[in-house]
Structure 1
Amino acid sequence: MATVPNVDNKRYQGLIISIALFLSLIGALLAFTFYTSNLLERNTALIDQTNQVANSAQAVIKDLFDLDSSYGEDTNSPHIQRVLSRLEQNTALITSSIAAIEQGSTITDAEGNSYDLPKIDGQAQTNIAAANEQWKALEPKIQTYLKDADNIMVTSADELTQAVEQAKTSSLFINDSLDNLTKDVFNSAERQATTIRLIQVLGVAAIFTYFLIFVFFFVRRLRETDAEALAARQETQEIMETVNTGLFLLDKDLNIGQQHSRALNNIIGSDRLAGENFTNVLRGRISDKDLKTTQQFIEQLYNPRVKEKLVDSLNPLNKVMLHNLSEDKNLDNRFLDFKFSRVYDNKDIARILVNVNDVSDAVYLEQRLEKERSQNDMQIEMLTTILNVNPKIINEFIGNTQAHIEKMNNILKNPGSSQYELEGKLKAIYREMHSLKGEASALKLHSFTKIASDAEDKLHALQNQGQLSGNEFLPLAVHLDDLLSLSNTIATLGERINRSAPSAAKASTIQAPVATQNPVADHAASNADFDGGLDIDLDNEADDDLLSFYNEFTKEIAARQGKRVQLKSTTLTQTSIPAHLAKPIKEISIQLLRNAVVHGIESPSVRHTTGKPDVGTIDLEVQDNGSNFMLVVQDDGQGINYDNIRNKLIQEGRFGTEEANQLSKGDLLKQLFSSGFSTKENADEDGGRGVGLDIIKAKVKEYDGKLNVNSELGQMTRFVITLPKA
């Protein structure tokens, strides 16, 4: 709802006074006209009354003569009674009318209407006094006659004669006086009418003249105001057309004002914005969540109890990406930065001023700088790893990376149409990606680990969605390319270091993927050869470095998990691992060590309450009994809680309650080693996706080995991996 601005009354004070004066003149003229109309009405009533008195006097004289000529007739005859009655009425009327005319009082006619008579003076007063004097001479004689006129027992001839004689004398004087009075009143009324007309003409002329003056000054003032408004509007328009930012006003209903900067159309990408609703302009171009948050944000801006600086920090349209809705696909999405400011009218919030800038170039520059910074950090991270890790381990990592990527590429090339085949592909890729992530994490290659974790997120989502299709594997190609690029970078950095070092040997890089018949494989496959990496003679330091590698890896995971762990091994540095088993032993060791830290060892506080040392112990031992090679990993942690496994299976809907309760420990262990199952509530970089034990099971099966698990709740867990040497 629009807010009505307060009006400055001082600016319109002259106009208000002029209108009030104009209305006062009109009111005065109307009041004078009403007064003069009343006065003329009273004069007319006076003239009518004098004529009535004159007519009544003539009727009295006529009735007296009639009675005189009819004297001797029966007084009870209708004729005599009618004349006597009329004589009595006219006599009373003349008496009351003359008194009213003299005093200027109110009279009432025969129909009951009342009239106010004007007071008379001067010659008119003299005339009415003369008429009254003659009437006072006649009226007593008439009353004396009327007293016994209808009494047949009393003779009233003398009284009638006297009245007739007096009427002959007085009627002339009365008529003359009343005629003179009528003339005086008429002349006076005519003079008053002339005066009234003159005053009315002058009043109308004055009002009309004032109106002309008023219109003249008002129009001139209006022109001046219009000129000022036009100049201000022109200045505003020039500003709005010149500024490079988008400026507009928003009301409480989120409607855009009629005035906005010309740049706003180009920034928003719409030709029509004035009067449009802000939410309709943004709908479809930002997320529904951001749109709803924007509405709530502007509502808070209109809340006077909320501080503007506080709510500004919650601005959801700070460098927001506005999606392109145009049919022109060549137009990129743009980043816009909206700034909101309150516009006050006195102490009330009248509008919200919005300033919007196209910050796409700045955002893209920030993204490019961030990407370059990330690449630099990544190269520094890789360089640190190369300089601080045994070259053989780096060499193995590069070779394993190539092998994992090539294997995932081959899995992707396998068409697979049934759900069973697609689920098999998913599990196989998941295992390879998790193994690759484990090795990268062990080397503290966090950039590598991050890409692998993102890929695992997509794989985990596919694993939980149920129905799969071949096209859903396509996004994995991007992650394979990124991993391949990083491994090439590591190899290149190692090669440069070797060139500059006197004792360094040549290192080769993994070649870029070559085209295959599978569109995903075309994007991610790598058929490159690895010719040995860093060829440095390590002598007897290899096993020592491997133990140090495992120890650092274990401590880093423990630090992330908020635990304290000590890795022990008495045989790793004394036992030679067969060359063809070095890779699986290392992969399995990484998964078992991670599993021991994440799932086995308790936090220091928990260990303290159970009487254990704060630092957990993990033993990693290798044994060569001639025909088999054994890997033993044991921790002194909380052991395997089979009830937790059973409850998690029920919670995830894999088994019903009754069916789960019938599972043996061996059955529960099989479920623990199944793909996608984990007892950890929340997945993170170190675990919780249910892939680590699945990898161990797959590796042991791949090398025709054996897997043995022994656990005591609250005490320990021991994994024994037996791989045949042949």
Structure 2
Amino acid sequence: MDASSSRPNLEIPKSRYTSIIVSVVIFLLLTSGVLVTSIYNSLKIRDLRAGSALSSNLRSDIPHLTQEIYLLNIMRQQQQPVSALQSQEAKITQLTQDIDKEITTLSKGGNVAIRDDEDAYKPSTAPEQVKYVKNTSSLWMPYKQEVTRFINSPLALGTNALENKFGESALGIYDNATNLSNNLSAENAQRAAFLRNLQVFGISFAILYFIVFVLYFVRRLKSSDEELITARRETQEIMETVNTGLFLLDKDLNIGQQHSRALNDIIGSDRLSGENFADVLRGRISDKDLRTTRQFIEQLYNPRVKEKLVDSLNPLHKVMLHNTSGEESTTNRFLDFKFSRVYEDKDIARILVNVNDVSDAVYLEQRLEKERSQNDMQIEMLTTILNVNPKIINEFISNTKAHIDKMNNILKNPGSSQFELEGKLKAIYREMHSLKGEASALKLHSFTKIASDAEDKLDALQNQGKLSGNNFLPLAVHLDDLLSLSNTIETLGERINQAAPKANNNAKPVSPVKPEPQPSVFQAQVADAATTNINFDGGNDIDLNDESDDEHLSYYQDFAKDIAVRQGKKIQLNGHNLAHINIPERLKQPIKEISIQLLRNAVVHGIESPEARQSAGKSAIGSIDLEMQRDSQNLVIALQDDGQGIDYEGIRHKLIADGRFTQEEAGQMTHGDLLKTLFASGFSTKEHADEDGGRGVGLDVIKALVKEHNGKLNVNTELGKMTRFVITLPAA
């Protein structure tokens, strides 16, 4: 039976959506009309309120002004003091200005103060109100002129003369202001009543429309839902008899029209009939597996190839199918695809595919494997804890968490431009490389493996060109793994070291070591740092460390020896004054990171293989000297090897080969320019990257740490003989 054709049409009629949309649009239009009308009337009411306030003020100010004029005339008749007369004249002048402003606002508009509020008044356009305003203005102008003349004249007037000048005009202004106020108040009352009625109508209409809408459309929705439920139940009863996913594939990888209902749930797609199998899997398995699947099915259709032989090459055996639903709660699943040929006579007609969800079994296997790995890691960690000074372990745990916090903060920082994303990538790369160096020094291979895997992804991102924020998301998994391992070490260390004896903290005086004379060779400055000669003041430094010089040297010797073994080299590390230096707390971790990176760089890039050294007339064992010095202002770390030195021409050729510069541009670069490229993120003279180097991050870490602590970096080198790094950090 055709699975797809047997399913009823479950599509929701478009007419239902059309009627709903039309109804909503009508409702919104009517609501918008009511809202716009309400807003318009509210604004008009504000104007009317402002006009009423103005006219009311005018009604009270005109009699007040007339009263003050009469009072001034009486004061003149009584020949009162000049100061009293001037005060009264000022009061009249102020009242005149206030009335003039009120009449101007009524005519032209403006802001009107009402109690503690202020409204913007627009002149009325109603004919009757315009008439009152014009009459008021025409009566006010001669009245204002008479007031001005009266104030400027020192003489008193008779009662009749005063009445003739001011009485009639004041009465006319008062009457017009009264009429205007009454007219505005009446219109205000009308609009307020209209607005109330409109609001009542709008609310009533909305409620009525909502009730009709719900009753009508919910009924239709309920009817359609019942049809859909009935059809779905019938489909499930027919198609859910098979628990595994079954379907047929043709030569073009098209899925047949018949398939089991369980297939939809297993694959996680509602549309499978007639779809291309490659399109269904695209984005859910790797591109490599998808290409292999195509080739595998092609071989299944090849009659010359035995079916059992091809089955052993099945690329979809317990393959992980990635979740594409976008829901975080939905986990990825593991599916097991089994392919069988379907023959018509002797020809291969189709491929029958049987799909089972084997996620539970795979997750169980992974859980068991993870437990085995954790047991192995705990044994490794216990070995490290039992053989390393507890203080070094605690420092490693603290530094690991600090590096992880820094990387988390870098990931959280917003950044959208390519420049910002590249800066984030370089910063994370440096932190991860520093963390890997410390883990490698302690022989914590589980840490080193996770950090190396993360560096591989960072290196791929650095070489892919264009970046996006999503490229950084997979790094969070590595950070979680590193933090989990750090917490495991911390827990094991606390259990083991509870009864550990405290280290001897007796201070020992140490004489300062003067710097060795430098060879007269080319000196290059990195990161625009100038060379500084350190002059020691003499005296004794106090040893604030628990470890002896031998313990520090042993730590670095073991680290360098492990790298040398992996690189097939032989080295001898000599340490000078490594522990007996008063190192500020803020510089302890940077100095440790710088020392580790310098040692790794010396062993990987500086020291030659035993055969190459003997061919050059050197001892088969390379010599590395690591020393620390301190005066009142600076702390100096110096590392020198007797290796091959820095090959500037080799750097030049590598820059051209990598496409960073053209041959002409590289040819114009000075030794200083070439040396600076060694400290650029992502550049390395090593052909192939491995656990110890080749990604171009170690020297970048050193440069970043020196810059961060306002230090200076000096490099001396002589081809075929030596390389010396001198790092100067301010101690204050």
TM-score between both structures, scaled by the size of structure 2: 0.53
Conservation of the 8 A alpha-carbon contact between 1:554 and 1:565:
no
Q: How does 1:98-137 map to 2 (within 5 A)?
A: none
Q: Distance in 1 between matches of 2:318 and 2:601?
A: 42
Tell me the CA shift for residue 415 of structure 1. Answer: 5.3
Q: Distance in 2 between matches of 1:592 and 1:327?
A: 46
Q: Distance in 1 between matches of 2:470 and 2:292?
A: 35
Q: 2:451 corresponds to which residue?
A: 452
Matched, 1:564 2:562: no
Q: 1:295 corresponds to which residue?
A: 294
Tell me the CA shift for residue 666 of structure 1. Answer: 1.5
The share of aligned pairs that are identical, in percent, is 78
Q: How does 1:178-217 map to 2 (within 5 A)?
A: none
CA change 1:609–1:304 in 2 (3 A) is: farther
* Cα deviation 1:508-566 (Å, max 9, x = unaligned): xxxxxxxxxxxxxxxxxxxxxxxxxxxxx9987543222222122122223333x1232
Matched, 1:578 2:583: yes
Q: 2:501 corresponds to which residue?
A: 503
- In structure 1, give the amino acid aligned to 2:359: S
Range that drifts further, 618-627 or 259-268: 259-268
Q: Distance in 2 between matches of 1:435 and 1:467?
A: 25
- In structure 2, give the amino acid aligned to 1:374: S
Conservation of the 8 A alpha-carbon contact between 1:297 and 1:314:
yes
Q: 2:400 corresponds to which residue?
A: 401
Range that drifts further, 571-580 or 366-375: 571-580
Conservation of the 8 A alpha-carbon contact between 2:560 and 2:573:
no
CA change 1:638–1:303 in 2 (3 A) is: farther
Match of 1:700 among 703, 706, 719: 706
Range that drifts further, 365-374 or 434-443: 365-374
Q: 1:87 corresponds to which residue?
A: none
CA change 1:265–1:679 in 2 (3 A) is: same
Q: Distance in 2 between matches of 1:673 and 1:327?
A: 41
Larger RCO (CA within 8 A; separation ≥ 6):
2
Tell me the CA shift for residue 393 of structure 1. Answer: 1.0
CA change 1:678–1:271 in 2 (3 A) is: closer
Conservation of the 8 A alpha-carbon contact between 2:564 and 2:571:
no
Q: 1:175 corresponds to which residue?
A: none
* Cα deviation 1:259-302 (Å, max 9, x = unaligned): 87775565445678788765465456544543332221122233
CA change 1:606–1:355 in 2 (3 A) is: farther
* Cα deviation 1:423-482 (Å, max 9, x = unaligned): 555444432332222112212223333443444445445545666667766665555454
Range that drifts further, 466-475 or 300-309: 466-475
Tell me the CA shift for residue 572 of structure 1. Answer: 4.4
Conservation of the 8 A alpha-carbon contact between 1:637 and 1:715:
yes
Q: How does 1:634-649 map to 2 (within 5 A)?
A: 634-649=640-655
Q: How does 1:634-713 map to 2 (within 5 A)?
A: 634-713=640-719
Match of 1:594 among 600, 610, 613: 600
Tell me the CA shift for residue 661 of structure 1. Answer: 0.9
* Cα deviation 1:286-342 (Å, max 9, x = unaligned): 445433322211222333443444433321111123355679986554321123345
Q: Distance in 2 between matches of 1:689 and 1:386?
A: 30
Q: Distance in 1 between matches of 2:412 and 2:327?
A: 36
Q: How does 1:268-417 map to 2 (within 5 A)?
A: 268=267, 278-279=277-278, 282=281, 285-323=284-322, 332-342=331-341, 352-408=351-407
Matched, 1:619 2:625: yes
Q: How does 1:4-83 map to 2 (within 5 A)?
A: none
Q: 1:83 corresponds to which residue?
A: none
Conservation of the 8 A alpha-carbon contact between 1:700 and 1:721:
yes
Greater Rg, structure 1 or structure 2?
1
Q: Distance in 2 between matches of 1:602 and 1:681?
A: 15
- In structure 2, give the amino acid aligned to 1:655: F
Q: Distance in 1 between matches of 2:579 and 2:265?
A: 73
CA change 1:376–1:325 in 2 (3 A) is: same
CA change 1:377–1:327 in 2 (3 A) is: closer
Tell me the CA shift for residue 591 of structure 1. Answer: 0.1
Q: 1:544 corresponds to which residue?
A: 550
Q: Distance in 2 between matches of 1:244 and 1:471?
A: 37
Range that drifts further, 435-444 or 255-264: 255-264
Q: Distance in 2 between matches of 1:242 and 1:411?
A: 53
CA change 1:399–1:360 in 2 (3 A) is: closer
CA change 1:710–1:494 in 2 (3 A) is: same
Conservation of the 8 A alpha-carbon contact between 2:607 and 2:642:
yes
Q: Distance in 2 between matches of 1:295 and 1:473?
A: 31
SS of the residue 1:569 aligns to: strand
- In structure 2, give the amino acid aligned to 1:696: I
- In structure 2, give the amino acid aligned to 1:387: L
Q: 2:487 corresponds to which residue?
A: 488
CA change 1:568–1:560 in 2 (3 A) is: closer
- In structure 2, give the amino acid aligned to 1:290: D
RMSD: 4.0
Q: Distance in 2 between matches of 1:360 and 1:447?
A: 27
SS of the residue 2:728 aligns to: strand
Q: How does 1:513-528 map to 2 (within 5 A)?
A: none
Q: 1:219 corresponds to which residue?
A: none
Tell me the CA shift for residue 579 of structure 1. Answer: 4.5
Q: Distance in 1 between matches of 2:471 and 2:353?
A: 43
Q: Distance in 2 between matches of 1:418 and 1:258?
A: 48
Range that drifts further, 543-552 or 259-268: 259-268
TM-score between both structures, scaled by the size of structure 1: 0.54
Q: Distance in 2 between matches of 1:470 and 1:251?
A: 40
Q: Distance in 2 between matches of 1:689 and 1:620?
A: 24
Q: Distance in 2 between matches of 1:258 and 1:466?
A: 44
Conservation of the 8 A alpha-carbon contact between 1:497 and 1:504:
no
Conservation of the 8 A alpha-carbon contact between 1:703 and 1:723:
yes
Conservation of the 8 A alpha-carbon contact between 1:642 and 1:665:
yes
Tell me the CA shift for residue 359 of structure 1. Answer: 1.0
Tell me the CA shift for residue 642 of structure 1. Answer: 0.8
- In structure 2, give the amino acid aligned to 1:693: L
Conservation of the 8 A alpha-carbon contact between 1:322 and 1:335:
yes
* Cα deviation 1:638-684 (Å, max 9, x = unaligned): 32111121123233444332222121112211221223322223333
- In structure 2, give the amino acid aligned to 1:544: D
Conservation of the 8 A alpha-carbon contact between 2:553 and 2:575:
no
CA change 1:271–1:659 in 2 (3 A) is: closer
- In structure 1, give the amino acid aligned to 2:573: K
- In structure 2, give the amino acid aligned to 1:669: L
- In structure 2, give the amino acid aligned to 1:375: Q
* Cα deviation 1:142-194 (Å, max 9, x = unaligned): xxxxxxxxxxxxxxxxxxxxxxxxxxxxxxxxxxxxxxxxxxxxxxxxxxxxx
CA change 1:718–1:308 in 2 (3 A) is: farther
Q: Distance in 1 between matches of 2:579 and 2:710?
A: 25
- In structure 1, give the amino acid aligned to 2:367: R
